[in-house]
Amino acid sequence: MFKKWLSRYTGNRNRGINPKGFHVSQIKFYVLLIPLSVIMLLPILFIFSSAFKPPDELFAFPPRFFVINPTLKNFTDLFAKLSTSGIPVSRYLFNSIMITLVTVIASIMVSSMAAYALSKKKFKLKQTLFAINNIALMFVPIAVTIPRFLVIERLNLLDTFWVHILPVLAMPVGLFLMKQFMDGVPDEVIEAAQIDGASDWYIYRGIILPMIRPALATIAILTFQAAWNNAEISTLYINDESLRTLAFYLGTLTSTTAGANTVAGQGIAAAAALIMFLPNLIIFIFLQGQVMSTMSHSGLK
């Protein structure tokens, strides 16, 4: 009886506060959110616009936001420069793709398994370990550059494929989001599975993972961005050119070109920035609904 009354009450309440269709009361939200959305879209539009600007528009004063006479010259100059490389560009691209895929998959597994233990298991120092992870969130990457280099050197990971993956495998923000999201999974569901004889592995794989898909998608996006755009590792820990990534190569290419020819360098840099940005935009478009679910915890009832 109480459930029927509660559902009727919440249903009427939701129809008044958050109707499914358009309602006059929603105009105030559009007035606020549409200008805010336009402002947030401006950096993306600027990246696309700059990549197609001819040199005279790139150096125009006052600067122009939108391109007037779009051209593909920046991309042709970039690909012409790529063709003169001693190592095929396909090698850098292959390294970036493989490193990103392995890092995303491994990071999801590590973060979700650790979050499952911290959220649903009982053991000593549980809160202490989670507090240490939260403290790690306060450190910017530049603050741990020297300790990380010393650890990598002691582990003999310099000039190896794994140096791209292992240092960024465990993301403190990934574990934090996973654990917080997993706390919303009812303990009764896990207890019922244990009564039925389910093992920890089955509970993790068959029950927990399907229920935290929004969090998995969020961690996938964060890890993808960190791995795909990372040129620091190729700079600090890699001397073998065949093990470096596309982000490092494009960054080096644009900087050396800009040093020799400022006009051509800026156009090539704009085209390279768009090429590196597009994968991030595409993966976010496909997974943005899951990200919103993670932030609002709406995926769990």
Give the mean pLDDT of 7-20: 49
DSSP string, 87-139: S-HHHHHHHHHHHHHHHHHHHHHHHHHHHHHHHH---TTHHHHHHHHHHHTT-
CB 106 within 8 A of CB 165: yes
Residue 282: what pLDDT?
Answer: 86
Residue scoring higher pLDDT (24 or 236): 236
> Could you state, in order of their start, the residue ranges of all structural domains in the chain?
85-296
Q: Is the pLDDT of residue 16 over 70?
A: no
Q: Is the pLDDT of residue 18 over 60?
A: no
Give the mean pLDDT of 195-222: 86
Q: Is the pLDDT of residue 300 over 50?
A: no
Token pair in block for residue 197: 């004889």
Residue 293: what pLDDT?
Answer: 58
Chain centre to alpha carbon of residue 233 = 17
Give the mean pLDDT of 261-281: 79
Residue 81: what pLDDT?
Answer: 74
DSSP string, the chain: -HHHHHHHHHHHHHHHHS-SS--GGGHHHHHHHHHHHHHHHHHHHHHHHHHT--HHHHT-SSPPSS-SS--SHHHHHHHHHHHT-SS-HHHHHHHHHHHHHHHHHHHHHHHHHHHHHHHH---TTHHHHHHHHHHHTT--GGGGHHHHHHHHHHTT-TTSGGGGTGGGTS-HHHHHHHHHHHTTS-HHHHHHHHHTT--HHHIIIIIIHHHTHHHHHHHHHHHHHHHHT--HHHHHT---GGG--HHHHHHHHHHHHHHH-HHHHHHHHHHHHHHHHHHHHHHHHHHHHHHHHHHHTTT--
Q: Is the pLDDT of residue 153 over 60?
A: yes
Q: Which of 124-133, 152-161, 250-259, 280-289 has the lowest mean pLDDT?
A: 250-259
Options 3.40.50.700, 3.30.300.30, 1.20.58.1030, 1.10.3720.10; CATH for 85-296 is 1.10.3720.10
| Gap between the Cα atoms of 251 and 67, Å rounded | 24
Q: How confident is the model at residue 256 (pLDDT cuts 50, 70, 90)?
A: low
Q: How confident is the model at residue 254 (pLDDT cuts 50, 70, 90)?
A: low
Q: Is the pLDDT of residue 147 over 70?
A: yes
Residue 13: what pLDDT?
Answer: 42
Q: Is the pLDDT of residue 174 over 80?
A: yes
What is the residue-averaged pLDDT of the chain? 80
Q: Is the pLDDT of residue 11 over 50?
A: no
Give the mean pLDDT of 166-185: 84
